[in-house]
Structure 1
Amino acid sequence: MPNFCTAPNCTRKSTQSDLAFRFLRDPARCQKWMENCRRADLEDKTPDQLNKHYRLCAKHFETSMICRTIYFSPYRTVLRDNAIPTIFDLTSHLNNPHSRHGKRIKELSEDEIRTRKQKKT
């Protein structure tokens, strides 16, 4: 069964690319990945849940954050230790005719992100 990319407006499946990365279990970095995705429905998920069920494809990372390594396998692609996804299409999800499963994903504005961060602290 293919894994879909978690990013809003992205319809890529892991079967379309071998470059799909799991969310990290490290709470601080996982939080940053989640915030950059701007999906309100991910906020209540733990890093373990995100790691187990959610992926981001390579197109959401700068090419400098992705490296091919020959240490494990010549076909193995990994993220650098400091990799953070920064490339997202944040246009309205409702305008995307290819949005998967017909789900509506609430995209957060900068103010909403700031407000939610303040509530958590």
Structure 2
Amino acid sequence: MTSPAVRLTVCRDCCCGNARKHPDVDHDAQLARLREIAAATGAAVTVSECLDVCDHANVVVVHRKGDKPVWFGFVRGDGVLDDLHKWIKDGGPVPDTLELHRIPPPGRP
């Protein structure tokens, strides 16, 4: 079995996916939507414990084969999910609208 060309790592722990921190976000629906995006694009989803970038909750890391992982923060609305879906489906560089959500991995400025 070959591994998928794209893997989404979705942080769900102390801050990301936490209704106390972000009560205006339907975190279960968001995770379901990310799984739908993955299914539609042949990607895979991994739910992770804390990724140590709590100030940027909710965090999604996109791993594309042959590329360094791309970290996105403040993934809380449908617009960013739409942008993620389009980018994963179409490939290419990160679009400007999605670039606004890009964050450095922990330990990097």
Give yes or no for TM over 0.5.
no
Choose between structure 1 and 2: higher strand proportion.
2
Q: TM-score, normalised by structure 2?
A: 0.30
Q: TM-score, normalised by structure 1?
A: 0.28
Structure (1 or 2) with the larger CA radius of gyration:
1
